[in-house]
Structure 1
Amino acid sequence: MSSIILHISDLHVSLDKKYDGTPKQHDSYLSATEADKNILYLECFIKFAKEESKGKTIFLLITGDTTDWGEQNEFSYALKYLNKIVDDLSIEKKNILLIPGDHDLNRRSLETLIAEKLDRSIDEKNDAKFKNFSDFYENFLGRTFNPNKIIFDSLIIENSIALIGVNSSYGIDLEQKLGFISIEKFETELKTFNTENDLKNIMCCHHNITSVHENKKSGQWDPDNRKRLIAKLQENDINFIFSGNEHTSSLEKIASGEITISDAGALSSTKYDSAFKIYELSINDDIVLTNKIYGLQKTGDFDNPYYWDSRTNTRAKQDEYLKIFIKNQPRMDSAITDLTTPDTAETPAKSDNGLEKIQKKENTPDNYYNPEFTDVLYSKVKDLKIFHTGHFHWSETSRAHNWIDVSKLIENRDNLNFLKNAIIDVLDKKIGSENIDLIIGLGYEGNILATKSAIKFDKPYSFLPYSYRHHEHHDFETELNYENDSKQYKNVLIVTDVVNDGRTIRKLIKKRQSTFFGNVDKVYVISLFYTGESILNYDVLNFNFIKTIPNYDLQSDEEVNNIQYYTVKSLKVEKCPYGKNFREECFIYKDDLSCVNLFYDEKKYISKQS
């Protein structure tokens, strides 16, 4: 029998009258009364949900605001309504995760506590404000709710997914109204959670961490606390959140597309997005959740005023799959679905924009090739038109007639996430993180690209500038932050954006950082692009290979032969063929044709001449 997650939220079971007996305005089809309309509303929902979940095991997730004011009478009716849902849909209580919302805490109890003594601890405040919810929780689920834990409960699904119940109302008091948790407590509790199981953790909370309809993206969460939480989630590879609160059935991405948030909408809202979600599970090598939204249609007939139907929400992109990976596999943007054909030719082929696509036998066993990254990266180069022609002068020994502007890729957050994941995929498939002792980001771009790999695989990390840019940095910026006298870093990974002949890397190893690398056995190098002219293989950056290239200028090169190299994509960048007399002989440079960019050594040369 297959399984589904039924995600409901924000029932807001409400009192019809205030404490003084006057009518209370509320936004819910479910009130704390015996009115038949409440049961009629529930029965319409249950009938539809039962049909949609026929033959499947239901795991129920409720992401907060079950009541409106957190009053005992509201919880009494909420217990009645939820028990009806659970009984009619044959849901086992062990398969339910119930999250508290800010409307489930009782502010009257909190006010009374503080009135008696102003200086109260957070534990005392939580015990008071969650007293009614705690009683309801135990009556409904038969389990104890601890209001002073951040991760208070969990739900394991198919021995693959762990829904982690996070109390985002932990820090709310009479002044603080936004979602807030103790990051230190969260981290401590997370370390002891599921330590023995290989489960994919999904955070479940009430407060929305991003916003769909408000003019801000921080949602209903304390902004500073939110930043720390997002960083902690990324550190722990938690890339999916189920939430409620905003009353919108949204599907949003944050953190450069790394974290996806799914809000169910409000199950019984009279004003906003009356909706719920069902996620169908498919578990093979990956975990795939098929995201389906069902909305209340308010055009029923007299005898059946409410009916539900599936719907397509353009903003939420409901036709997409929510893919959650439980192994070290690339996380692709869902928008990238049309992959180009794998490269097979070994001869140059001109594209429509004149970009020369040079094949380096990329899909041979010794080289890295993954169409999800290799081909898509090439398509991005074409689409963004970042392959430029002209004369590009990097140093006296490095001049090219073509150039790839990687900065244009990095400045887009979705592309940046894609590039970082490409580096991770190469490392995982061709090297193995267990074989790496230290990761170095080379150059500004390499520093940006490499950091996620270091975080994901928990490796020591450092940054170094390119060899020919050392003069632009202070001395302390050009040194590694690690000593290697005892040879604890035997295998080092260098990540950079573009490699042509590897001269810069060999100079880094043998000249700039010779003391450190003298005790390194193996140097692995990963780049986004290889722009050299040689047939690509993992040995292509070693000096013994380079010196066999006809007419190669060995000036200022270094003899290094312990490099193993992989790249995501090969794109030939032609070197300026005019040697040291390029100023007089290179027509692009001499006559200022196309694009002429002067960098570093050439600028110094011109300054000296003048």
Structure 2
Amino acid sequence: MKTAILHISDLHLTEFNPGNGRIPSRTISKQYYIEQFIHDTKEKLHDWDAELKKVVVTGDLANEGSRDDYEIVFKELTKLKEGFNLESQDFIIVPGNHDIHRGKNSSVHQDSDAVPKPEPNQFHDAKFQYFIKFYNDFFGNDFEPCKPSIIPFEFDDKKIAFVCLNSNYKESCMSKDHYGYLNLEDILKIESALLGEFKDYYKVAVVHHNPNLDSAEKSIKNWDEVKGSLNSMGIFSFLCGHVHTSENLEVKTTETNCFCSVGSFAKEDPEISNTSALLVYEKEESGVLFFKLERLRYICDGNGLYGKGAWDIDTTKYNKDIKIGKHGVKVKQCVPIISARRPTDILPETTGVEQAFLVEERNEQRIYSDEILSMVREKNAVLSGHFHWSDTSRSHGWIDTGSLLIEDRDIEIIGKAIFSVIKTKEVQFDGIVGLGMEGNILGALVAAATNKPYTYIPVPYRKAYNEYELYAKVNSKRILLLADVISTASTITNIISNTDYRFLSEAEELRVITLFFTGDEKRLKELYEKFENLRIYAICNEIKFGHCGKEPEECPIVKHKLEQIHEFYTKE
């Protein structure tokens, strides 16, 4: 039998009292609502030869987050559990903004005598007090508002890790705090587990707010800051809720990520159609799991009223696949042998490696590093093969940095990353040098922003210098040099040792910022001993390539054509 996962959201269960203006859930006003859902869904599962294995609930279980609300939540979810013959551990639940008790949040904030008094949104245990109790009663374990959880799920020979994220970090009793937000420090608490114990699992995030919406209130406000970190941990697919309309039940797939939203499952509102989603496993292809999305919609009775009603397949929308990938959701196509291969396995499985040249635990720099690694992934910018390009460029891989310097948004992120290093490492400079074509772009960017003197130096293996390039210099004692990739640092050594560029060796301070350092850190210690004025800082220190120290005629890989050989530059 096929494996199926049920995705529901936004139940908004609350005590029904017409006198207080509350909008009841259909589970309260319609006696057989849950029973009808179970019956109709079982019929569909039987038709598809599928078995329901997991239920994912993406928030807003309650309407006001009160103790009474969660008594109803517990009762209704127990009906689902027993109706589908499941256990509590087969449910995956994250809170929504309506799972906060704003009254409790307000009173605890007002009673706090802390100096200075924290913002209301920082009283996490208070605002989730009754959700925490429900969670403990339903699952038998604690819910920690500021620590994501990982729930493994195995079927057949497939392994999925559901990563439960709380996007209500900034939500509070204050209307100004009504937006989605993921706290990066919290996410990093599970990084080692995702890249260690769950390294070989497919990963999917379960979160209330949909990151892929234009509305700031309904989306995740800091999505651009955390997206790279999530992608670097292998999270590319997202199950979401928050928006009630049936139009929210859709799949949006970008180059790298897949977002699946579902509307309200039970809120009684004449302006919406209640919906749910069944994800039925179809196949695995090139590191991507495919689930067929079947939409179930609550249909009115024959009088056009929401009477007993029934659940049926929503044929008004095209049912797309839900994709869960280990290295993104795009299926990699075969590339002819005559071109460079672009495998994703060269990209780092972890960004948790200590970066020797960056300040440790600097979230700002970490964000930019992950953003740039995400760009590399999206643009397939890593090439594999055996590169014999010059005396200084012989390696088992190469990064196409030129592809990262085309779009305005990418250049802006890279520029911010450079200035983040300048700030955290307190780099002082009076002049700027760009090394090579890509370094020229980066150097010009920094020069334009700082109004400092600037010049450009071509890479040493290009002999066709013009007169200006040969004698380019800046009359500065503190120099900042921008490069795209440093591996053995032979290029840096060559230009510092070149008498035409004596101003580099004579500078009191020579600071180099590179997008990527792909070599051995021991090499840098040797450089620092040789050039006391030199320090090198890398934004991304995770992608590493092996270096070939042999001449082409001596290299067995080249000699016997054991791998794709790239000879962009010849010795002549």
- TM-score, with length taken from structure 1: 0.56
Which residue matches 1:190? Answer: 191
CA distance in 2, matches of 1:194, 1:542: 36
- Change in Cα spacing, 1:522 to 1:288, as seen in structure 2 (3 Å) is farther
Where do 1:496-575 residues align within 5 Å? 521=549, 541=567, 559-560=570-571
Match of residue 38, structure 2, among 26, 34, 46: 46
Match of residue 311, structure 1, among 309, 314, 317: 314
The amino acid of 1:2's aligned partner reads: K
CA distance in 2, matches of 1:184, 1:17: 41
CA distance in 2, matches of 1:189, 1:46: 35
Deviation at 1:155, TM superposition (A): 4.2
- Change in Cα spacing, 1:264 to 1:172, as seen in structure 2 (3 Å) is same
Instruction: Say yes or no: does 1:247 pair with 2:244.
Output: yes
Where do 1:41-190 residues align within 5 Å? 41-54=33-46, 55-117=50-112, 119-120=117-118, 125-149=123-147, 151-158=148-155, 159-175=158-174, 176-190=177-191
Where do 1:224-243 residues align within 5 Å? 225-243=222-240
CA distance in 2, matches of 1:111, 1:468: 54
Deviation at 1:117, TM superposition (A): 2.0
The amino acid of 1:125's aligned partner reads: F
CA distance in 2, matches of 1:210, 1:542: 41
Q: Deviations over 1:417-475 (max 9, x none)?
A: 99975745x836999xxx74663524876799999xx9xxxxxxx98427999999943
The amino acid of 1:130's aligned partner reads: F
Which residue matches 1:399? Answer: none
- Change in Cα spacing, 1:69 to 1:450, as seen in structure 2 (3 Å) is closer
Match of residue 261, structure 2, among 260, 263, 269: 263
The amino acid of 2:267's aligned partner reads: S
Q: Deviations over 1:240-293 (max 9, x none)?
A: 111111114333547x54222111211113322310000012353431111111
- Change in Cα spacing, 1:485 to 1:171, as seen in structure 2 (3 Å) is closer
Q: Percent identity?
A: 18
The amino acid of 1:131's aligned partner reads: Q
CA distance in 2, matches of 1:203, 1:269: 24
CA distance in 2, matches of 1:128, 1:252: 35
Deviation at 1:194, TM superposition (A): 5.8
* Residue pair 2:209, 2:220 contacting (<8 A) in 1 also: no
CA distance in 1, matches of 2:341, 2:166: 43
CA distance in 1, matches of 2:404, 2:223: 28
Structure 2: unaligned runs, 5 residues or longer: 343-373, 388-394, 415-433, 446-453, 459-481, 492-516, 521-546, 553-562
Deviation at 1:24, TM superposition (A): 2.1
* Residue pair 1:542, 1:560 contacting (<8 A) in 2 also: no
Q: Secondary structure at the match of 1:6?
A: strand
CA distance in 2, matches of 1:17, 1:303: 19
CA distance in 2, matches of 1:134, 1:172: 16
Deviation at 1:87, TM superposition (A): 0.2
CA distance in 2, matches of 1:92, 1:226: 34
Where do 1:374-523 residues align within 5 Å? 423=380, 427=383, 436=396, 439-442=399-402, 464-465=436-437, 474-475=454-455, 480=483, 482=486, 484-485=488-489, 521=549
CA distance in 2, matches of 1:418, 1:470: 16
Q: Deviations over 1:126-150 (max 9, x none)?
A: 111211111111222222212232x
CA distance in 2, matches of 1:71, 1:162: 31
Structure 1: unaligned runs, 5 residues or longer: 32-36, 333-338, 343-361, 371-416, 455-461, 492-518, 525-536, 544-558, 562-610
Which residue matches 1:299? Answer: 301
- Change in Cα spacing, 1:468 to 1:125, as seen in structure 2 (3 Å) is closer
- Change in Cα spacing, 1:10 to 1:283, as seen in structure 2 (3 Å) is same
Deviation at 1:44, TM superposition (A): 1.1
Which residue matches 1:12? Answer: 12
- Change in Cα spacing, 1:490 to 1:168, as seen in structure 2 (3 Å) is closer
- Change in Cα spacing, 1:204 to 1:489, as seen in structure 2 (3 Å) is closer
* Residue pair 2:255, 2:378 contacting (<8 A) in 1 also: no
CA distance in 1, matches of 2:112, 2:444: 61
CA distance in 1, matches of 2:95, 2:70: 12
- Change in Cα spacing, 1:77 to 1:234, as seen in structure 2 (3 Å) is same
- Change in Cα spacing, 1:521 to 1:132, as seen in structure 2 (3 Å) is same
* Residue pair 2:379, 2:403 contacting (<8 A) in 1 also: no
CA distance in 1, matches of 2:98, 2:324: 31
Q: Secondary structure at the match of 2:401?
A: strand
Which residue matches 1:206? Answer: 208
CA distance in 2, matches of 1:107, 1:324: 35
| Structure with larger Rg | 1
* Residue pair 1:6, 1:59 contacting (<8 A) in 2 also: yes
Q: Secondary structure at the match of 2:168?
A: coil
CA RMSD of aligned residues (A): 4.3
The amino acid of 2:313's aligned partner reads: S
CA distance in 2, matches of 1:77, 1:65: 13
CA distance in 2, matches of 1:237, 1:90: 32
- Change in Cα spacing, 1:446 to 1:421, as seen in structure 2 (3 Å) is same
Which residue matches 2:448? Answer: none
- Change in Cα spacing, 1:217 to 1:237, as seen in structure 2 (3 Å) is farther
Q: Secondary structure at the match of 1:85?
A: helix
CA distance in 1, matches of 2:151, 2:167: 15
- Change in Cα spacing, 1:218 to 1:261, as seen in structure 2 (3 Å) is farther
The amino acid of 2:163's aligned partner reads: I
CA distance in 1, matches of 2:162, 2:109: 34
CA distance in 2, matches of 1:471, 1:264: 46
CA distance in 2, matches of 1:124, 1:219: 19
Instruction: Give the total of aligned pairs.
Output: 402
- Change in Cα spacing, 1:483 to 1:56, as seen in structure 2 (3 Å) is closer
Deviation at 1:522, TM superposition (A): 8.5
